[in-house]
Structure 1
């Protein structure tokens, strides 16, 4: 279910009652213990002090692209070439938040689109939504795209920690349709020839966006 290299998001309540989020990666797994690298605060980009006995909520994206959470505790630390924290992990107590092949979230991301066949001039726009399988963008009124047309994309991913990632990939046009709210045309596309590491970046972005929306809903 969880393997070495899996990215985990940790949540901790600060002394001022502010909820803090940290990102880390699974370095090793032994029985019911996960060895993680030192968590980085997604807001400040810095590490924090995690004494033994610290209780945390943990979230990760499983191989089925569902989001899982579990309650955990810092049980020890280990200093080797990579300093690590040891946390409890009971697979039988995992809670699944979402079960879909790819979680789709609403997001306004900058994207540059070009036509490898040079029938269209390169244009820039923003996404309406995105998932690990594809995206929908606002189509400028003077641009005509045919179904099944291959397009080269550069997507600007703005992660929670303000880090910017660029995803270079190719997509295939699915359909053009009107957005009911303001009559803008949308172009839906599915990813083709996408590197798996780039797909994982998008999945991680969707995960963070969904987690933020979920947390906002709990706070309201």
Structure 2
């Protein structure tokens, strides 16, 4: 069953931060078009605090149907619209992808890709990704590279496909979490703050190809 205008959505944001992922927000569908849904700015349940979203944020969503059944799907933020109130535009899910079982972060897969990183402090280095998704990446970083949570980065990542072609995908991002490893290195988790939809689709295509490989 597909959600309708005025249906309430229950949303979790996959930012790479475990604390953030555990917070649930509510929103309402204001409009639906061919490719997207327009929703009200999500509100945190309990506190009533508005959630500021960014283009590329990955969302795990469910809505209720008759009998209290939860219907899950995944989406991501594609833009915004200012009308009487500010609304968030999210990718419309394929009806076949909506299910009764939660499938979190279906766009994220493990993969070692080359990524060039430039921080807002003009630090530049090459790294290898740990995982890749439609809303962000994480990469391994040597101890000598001083980066911090909240720092802005500009990057491009080399994306290989099964037909042997390569794409260079540029994006701007924000470091949301840094995990220290025992060997002194660290994993840096980045969410996209600016990426062209065409470039995001290149990453999603790579993720789907990887998912097919894993299933085989």
Q: TM-score, normalised by structure 1?
A: 0.51
Closer, same or farther: CA 209–128 of 1 in aligned 2, 3 Å: same
Report Cα offsets for 1:29-53 as digits up to 9, x if no partner.
xxxxxxxxxxxxxxxxxxxxxxxxx
Tell me, what secondary structure is at the counterpart of 2:126?
strand
| C-alpha displacement of 1:100 | 3.7
Is 1:115 the counterpart of 2:116? The answer is no
Report Cα offsets for 1:58-110 as digits up to 9, x if no partner.
xxxxx5567969xxxxxxxxxxxxxxxxxxxxxxxx99998445521110000
Unaligned runs of 5+ in 2: 1-90
Tell me, what secondary structure is at the counterpart of 1:165?
strand
1:149 to 148, 151, 162: 151
CA radius of gyration, larger in: 1
Q: How does 1:18-97 map to 2 (within 5 A)?
A: none
- Higher RCO (C-alpha 8 Å, min separation 6): 2
- The equivalent of 1:176 in structure 2 is 178
- The equivalent of 1:132 in structure 2 is 134
Contact map agreement 2:120 2:151 (CA 8 A) in 1:
no
Runs (4+) off by over 4 Å:
63-69, 94-98
Unaligned runs of 5+ in 1: 1-62, 70-93, 216-220
Contact map agreement 1:138 1:187 (CA 8 A) in 2:
yes
| C-alpha displacement of 1:143 | 0.8
Closer, same or farther: CA 207–67 of 1 in aligned 2, 3 Å: farther
Closer, same or farther: CA 66–107 of 1 in aligned 2, 3 Å: farther
CA RMSD of aligned residues (A): 2.8
Contact map agreement 1:67 1:99 (CA 8 A) in 2:
no
- The equivalent of 1:214 in structure 2 is 215
Tell me, what secondary structure is at the counterpart of 2:203?
helix
Q: For 2:148 and 2:116, locate their aligned partners in 1 and report how far apart those are by CA, in whole Å.
A: 17
Contact map agreement 1:65 1:101 (CA 8 A) in 2:
no
Closer, same or farther: CA 177–159 of 1 in aligned 2, 3 Å: same
| Count of residues in correspondence between the two structures | 126
Q: TM-score, normalised by structure 2?
A: 0.52
